[in-house]
Amino acid sequence: MSLHLELGAAVEAAFAHALESPPEQKLDALLVRLRNGVTLTVRYAAPDAYSLRWTCGEGDAECGIDTAPLHRGLATFPNHFHHADGRILADPVTQTGAPPQDNLHKLIRALLDDPMLGARDTA
């Protein structure tokens, strides 16, 4: 998918200092490895259809943000945050319909600061 190629080039240009290795293109995804131990898998079909999943290096707990229209009660519907402990929360970073590069850059900056996106406490 050319969008993933474009996103990979943009990530490498903007975050070269924070990358463990260059972004890696997969059949249907972009893999981004950050120096802080985060491995991010990016799947973008359209500005309003995406799945952004990452492991945090702390026992490989997985978190993610996606736009599957399942959680209507959240303020950020349809996008939502899957916390590693199983909670589904409002998306604290991305905006549905925003340019994919903008969302991805915001997410990488947030993951560099806090791989759990401030959701460490369990409910």
Whether the model pTM is above 0.75: yes
Identify the CA nearest to 49 among candidates 24, 88, 81, 78. Answer: 78
Per the DSSP assignment, residues forming a β-bridge with 81 are 65, 89
Per-residue pLDDT tens over the stretch 38-97: 999 999 999 999 999 999 876 668 999 999 999 999 999 999 999 988 999 999 999 999
At 122 the pLDDT is: 41
Per-residue pLDDT tens over the stretch 11-44: 999 999 999 999 999 999 999 999 999 999 999 9
